[in-house]
Amino acid sequence: MSKGKILVVDDEIYIVHILDFSLGMEGYDVVTALDGEQALEKVKTEKPDLIVLDIMMPKLDGYEVCKTIKSDPGTKQIPVILLSAKGRNVDQKMGFDVGADDYITKPFSPRKLVERINQLLGQAVTERPASSA
Amino acid sequence: MPSVELIWALAAASLLLIEALRRRGALRKELRSMRGSYESAVARNEQLTHAADEMATLYRNELLSSRKRAARLKKVLEIATSINSNLALDKVLHEVVHAVADAAGFRIVLLRVLNPRSGCFEARAFAGLDRGAVDKLEQRPVPRAEFDGWLQEKFRIGRSYFIGHEAKFWGEHDEDGFTPDLGERKAGEWHAEDVLFVPLVTKEGAVIGYLSVDDPVDRRRPNREAVETLEILATHAVVALQNSELYERLHESMRQLEEATERGDELNDLKSSFVSIVSHELRTPLTHIRSFVEPLLENVGAPNLEMQREFLTVIDEQSRKLERLIASILDISELEAGRFRMNREPINVTEVVEEVAGLLHPMAQEKGIEIDVDAEPGEVVVEADRSLVRRALLNLGQNAIKFTERGGTVSLKVAREARTARLEVEDSGIGIPRQELAKIFDKFYQIDGSLSREYPGVGLGLSIARSIVEWHGGEIHADSEPGHGSRFTVTLPATAGDAGVITHAAWGSPHSVSDHLTRLTVEMIAEVMHARIASLMLVDEEREELYIKAARGLREEVVSGTRIKMGDSIAGWVAKHGVPLLVTDVEEDPRFGRRNGHQYETKSLLSVPIKSDGRVVGVININNKISCTPFTEDDQALLSSLADRAARAWAHSEAVDDSSERAEGAARALSAIIDNARRARLKLTAGSMATRAAAMGRRLGLSEDDLRALAYVASIHDVGMAQVGWPVLHEPGSLDEETWAQVTQHPARTLEIVKPIEFESHVAELIMAHHERLDGRGYPRGLKGEQIPIGARIIAVLDAYESMTLGRPYRQSMSHDEAVAELRRCAGSQFDPKIVEAFVQTSGVQEDRKAIQAPEAA
């Protein structure tokens, strides 16, 4: 049984590939997008439980995508993990400013990312009834 | 660790930035003083305007009956104060002459302005003349000397001059001039050959033009009022002319400042974007490797071989990508530092192009792009380093493929030209916006935003290509039609000494110096002296004339058309007297002022004789340093030395009983010096080591002969190092024995290379001893203390300073202060303490150093 649906957004096909593999092994369903615009479409059509989002992408960057998701009442509860090569503090701060739930810098460990996703989804599940009450 | 190289490359970028900022500071200062003088001129102008306003009111009341005249005067005043461009200047002058016509009552008015460059008064504004007359006047500028002859006391009225026809001043009728047809005139009336003019004189007393009038409305000889009106209007013309000149200078400095600011900002931007781009580009493959390795490790021993093979393929591919990236960053830093080993030999570029097409094939195939090779039949041979040229072309080809859509075409062309080979890399890709064309060869340049993500790269490929091409003395440029593709054109000189040098074949030389050697000589002079223009003139003894044998930076017609009598002009003077001549500013030098200006458009120049057996056989001239600073006596010492070596090289070529082998040796020496100078140019620390060495030597009281030798050796001492190849990636001490042995041999290699053109034993001594240490622990001979010639001790200090401030890949560059501290620390052991101190003193004032006029030229 699927543990949930993860949207992986990155313009680097190999990153999408390895996350598909790692998350698939862990029992998640994975949907993918290769740029920001595609990501927003997939958020609507696929209604993922969590989003792994690259920052530097063509068309629409990760900050913009995250901002859009977090300002839409229909999608703002979806946890977003930013995954980026931009490792400076200001980059991270900007990520949290646009509403990201976590920020992981590349190069990254797929195992740790999966653990983080498990954790976030666990929290999200327990928090959901509380926030809706 | 790639990060060390990165830091190093960054340090290089910041050096550039600092230099740009420094220059910006100097410009600001200049601009501030310019603004001051502009403001005072505006204030002066306002005063004048005010005074003139009062006068105009006076005239309006007392002299001028017509409203039209008053309006015209007012218009002149208005425009004269608001002058802000050349266009406005012409408008003011136009108004001035028409105001003169109306207010002073002359039908014909002409205004001439002195062109300081030509030394002639040129017609700029007219009233009452038809097109034919205007054309005639425009074609006949009045030389300054002629004008000065008119300014005789007997003709003067106030500040004006009236030359009546009775004076018979003009002698026989001047056919080129213009005499209006005034019809019948009675005695006492204005005569057709009468002339009334007023010089346009600035407050400082400089004549900048004159106004002349003809055909008075009242048909009378000029009266006092008419002359006064004329003189007031002349004042306005002066103000307008001065304002426009000031404006232009202000405008020019403004533009320079803006450019420098822009450049500084750009460098800043480049630097920070370089950090983010390079870190991103390095991290991407690293990310892939790390994230694919982890699951592999977790699955060691698992039966899923397909997955393992797939992941390992990705890791392999990405680690290669990382390797390429690091290599290209290292390449550019080495090229920048001029430490690439260049192995110049005749190569067939068609072959190289075909090889490059083959190397590009896999990359092109992946995108379904076709590669065309269009080469001229037969071999196209140039003297070049094969692997460097291949590298440059490969970078251009990869760039073309990267920016070309699936299914497009990339074509490589080879064409043979007179003394160059032309290589083109053309694509049918997305093209380059016009405003970006100038920047694409900049280091770390990338098309910004979305494009750089779609077409990733570090932005070093084109920069590397340009460094390589320029190092060969060639040129590279790009043109493009956005949406229709781009074309990169590379021209490579056929032989080492051929870059841009024009030789003049028509004159038979009494000295049978080969064209190749003369070209090499001119090229060497231009490169080592860093001069925009270099020319080599030879003496034609029969006709007692000098003619240009070879030149760089001069137009072909100047090269073939220039003949100078012995004793005439600058080169003639040098040939006649056999001593060098340094002119820091031609325009300000009363001796040579305007006679040369039109020919060379020159400001600073240096001319030295070439002697053979005590006889002057030619003259070498260099004009205008590329750095735009004037030549100094240190440059003169260096050029004299180079001229002596050129003479030496020719002596081999002339001697009948000599084998051609020695002439070839001389040519090789000149080529090696050219390459060395170009390599030194690529270093980020500007400024010539030769002139610095000479300045230090001067301070330490060396004789003029020693200074010449020192300047020369300072500019060539590392010629031999290029043959050894720089062990750039290793820290000193980490070199293997074999490499170290080669390094210690480089002074001997240098000597071997320049030997065919050497004749002074102490020059050889300096070359051999510049890596010796005061404590005897240097190489190659382990000389101690005073055993080391003082010149060699000077070069040792300069060399160390340069190496420390330039940086090495294994460590960052030092600041000036840090380097000085290090020199002082090693004073007494490695360096001579008194030379270290002389260095500190000269380096502090180096930048403000003013040029000194050549004493012997007086």
Q: For B627-679, give the DSSP string.
A: T-PPP-HHHHHHHHHHHHHHHHHHHHHH-TTS-HHHHHHHHHHHHHHHHHHHH
CB-closest option in B280, B295, B318 to A21 = B295
Per-residue tokens: B350: 């068609």
Please give the residue of chain A at the shortest CA–CA distance from B449.
Answer: A58
Looking at beta carbons, which residues of chain B come within 8 Å of A107? Answer: 283, 286-287, 289-291
Tens-place pLDDT, residues B206-251: 888 998 888 888 788 877 777 887 887 788 778 777 777 766 666 6
B309 touches chain A (CB under 8 A): no
Please give the Cα distance from B529 to B526 (Å, whole number). 5
Interface contact flag, B284 A85, Cβ < 8 Å = yes
More confident residue, B541 or B167: B541
Helix crossing, B67-81 with B224-298: angle to 10°?
A: 30
CB contact under 8 A, B288 and A15: yes
Q: Is the dihedral of CA A44, A47, A48, A49 positive or negative?
A: positive
pLDDT of residue B596: 41
Q: Does B130 score more than 90 pLDDT?
A: no
What is residue B413's three-state secondary structure? strand
Q: Which residues pair with B640 in a beta bridge?
A: none
Average pLDDT for B55-68: 54
Q: Is the pLDDT of residue B445 over 90?
A: no
**What tokens appear for B773 in the block?**
């240490």
Asked if the Cβ–Cβ distance from B283 to A85 is below 8 Å, we say: yes
Among A12, A22, A106, select the one facing B295 at the smallest CB separation. Answer: A22
pLDDT band at B627 (very low <50, low <70, confident <90, very high): low
- Whole-angstrom Cα distance, residue B738 to residue B512? 44
pLDDT of residue B2: 47
Q: Residues 238..277 of B with a Cβ closer than 8 Å to A: which?
A: 276
Name chain A contacts of B453, Cβ cutoff 8 Å. 11, 56-58
Q: How far apart are CA B96 and CA B92, in angstroms?
A: 6
Comparing CA positions, the residue from B247, B188, B258, B199 lying closest to residue B223 is: B188
Query: Which tokens is B807 given?
Result: 């940086």
pLDDT, mean of residues A47-59: 90
Contacts of residue B287 in chain A, CB cutoff 8 Å? 12, 15, 85, 106-108
| Rounded distance between C-alpha atoms, residue B240 and residue B515, angstroms | 53
Q: Is the model's pLDDT at B344 over the cut of 80?
A: no
Q: Where are the alpha helices (DSSP H) in B299-418?
A: 305-336, 349-366, 386-402
Q: Which of A17, A25, A58 sits opposite B450 (nearest CB)?
A: A58
Distance CA B5, CA B13 (A): 12
Contact B839, B619 (CB under 8 A): no
3-state secondary structure of B423: strand
User: Given pLDDT bands bounded at 50, 70 and 90, which one contains residue B626?
Assistant: low
Query: B714 falls in which pLDDT band (50, 70, 90)?
Result: confident
Are residues A109 and B291, on separate chains, in Cβ contact within 8 Å?
Answer: yes
Residues 6+ away with beta carbon under 8 Å from B201? B159, B207, B208, B238
Distance from CA of A80 to the nearest CA of B (A): 20
pTM of the predicted model, to two decimals? 0.44
In percent, the amount of chain B with pLDDT more than 70 equals 67
Q: Write b or e for each residue in B262-292: b if 16 or more Cβ atoms lie within 10 A of its Cβ, otherwise e.
A: ebbeebeebbebbeebbbbbbbbbbbbbbbb
Check residue B283 and give its pLDDT: 77
Question: Between B283, B291, B454, which is nearest A18 by CB?
Answer: B291
Q: Does B482 touch chain A (CB under 8 A)?
A: no
A99 phi, psi to nearest 5 deg: 105, 10
Nearest-by-Cβ selection for B280 from A25, A56, A110: A56
Contact B111, B134 (CB under 8 A): no
By CA distance, what is A54's nearest residue in B? Answer: B284
Chain A touched by B299 (CB under 8 Å): no
Token pair of B674, please?
């050219």
pLDDT at res. B577: 87
Q: Is the dihedral of CA B341, B342, B347, B351 positive or negative?
A: positive
Q: Is B287 on the interface with A (CB under 8 A)?
A: yes
Complex ipTM value = 0.75
Those residues with Cβ within 8 angstroms of residue A34's Cβ, 6 or more apart along the chain or in another chain = A9, A10, A11, A13, A16, A57
> What integer pLDDT is reported at residue B650 of this predicted model?
77
Residues of A with Cβ-Cβ distance to B280 under 8 angstroms: 56, 85-86
Query: How high is the pLDDT of residue A132?
Result: 38
Q: Which two tokens mark B619?
A: 């003259």
Report d(CA B315, CA B318) in Å as an integer: 5
Task: Report phi then psi at B459, rounded to 5.
Answer: 75, 30
Predicted confidence (pLDDT) per residue in B242-253, tens digit: 777 766 666 666
- Find which of A62-76, B373-387, B635-649 is predicted with most confidence, using mean pLDDT: A62-76
Rounded distance between C-alpha atoms, residue B251 and residue B727, angstroms = 49
B442 pLDDT higher than 80: no
Contact A111 B294 (CB under 8 A): yes
* Residue A52 or residue B577, greater confidence: A52
Enclosing H/E stretch for B236: helix B224-298
Torsion of CA B60, B62, B65, B67, to 10 degrees: 10
pLDDT class for B20, splitting at 50, 70, 90?
low
Residue B717 DSSP symbol: T
- Which pLDDT belongs to residue A25? 87
Say if the Cβ atoms of B294 and A58 lie within 8 Å. no
**Packed helices B660-682 and B704-716: angle between N→C axes, nearest 10 degrees:** 80
Average pLDDT, chain B: 75
Burial of B116 (0-12, 13-18, 19+ CB in 10 A): middle
Distance CA B691, CA B637 (A): 9
Find the range with the poorest average confidence among B281-285, B347-351, B523-527: B281-285
Contact A110 B286 (CB under 8 A): no
Contact B707, B632 (CB under 8 A): no
Give me B81's structure tokens. 């104060």
Q: Nearest residue on chain B to A58, judged by CA atoms?
A: B450
Round to whole Å and give the CA distance between B821 and B320.
42
Residue B667 and residue B496: Cα distance in Å, rounded? Answer: 10
Calpha distance B675→B496 (Å, rounded): 8
Strands laid side by side in the A5-9 sheet: A29-33, A5-9, A50-54, A80-84, A102-105
Distance separating alpha carbons of residues B166 and B195, to the nearest angstrom: 11
- Helix, strand, coil % (nearest 5) of chain A? 50, 20, 30
- Can you give the pLDDT at residue B354? 92
| pLDDT band with cut points at 50, 70 and 90 for residue B846 | very low
Please tell me if residue B735 touches chain A, with a CB cutoff of 8 Å. no
Alpha carbon of B557 to those of B508, B553, B667: distances in Å? 17, 12, 27
Of A17, A85, A110, the CB nearest to B280: A85
Identify all chain A residues contacting B289, using CB atoms and an 8 Å cutoff. Answer: 107
Percentage of chain B beyond pLDDT 90 is 7
d(CA B1, CA B22): 33
Residue of B279, B282, B291 to mutate, interface with A, max A Cβ within 10 Å: B291
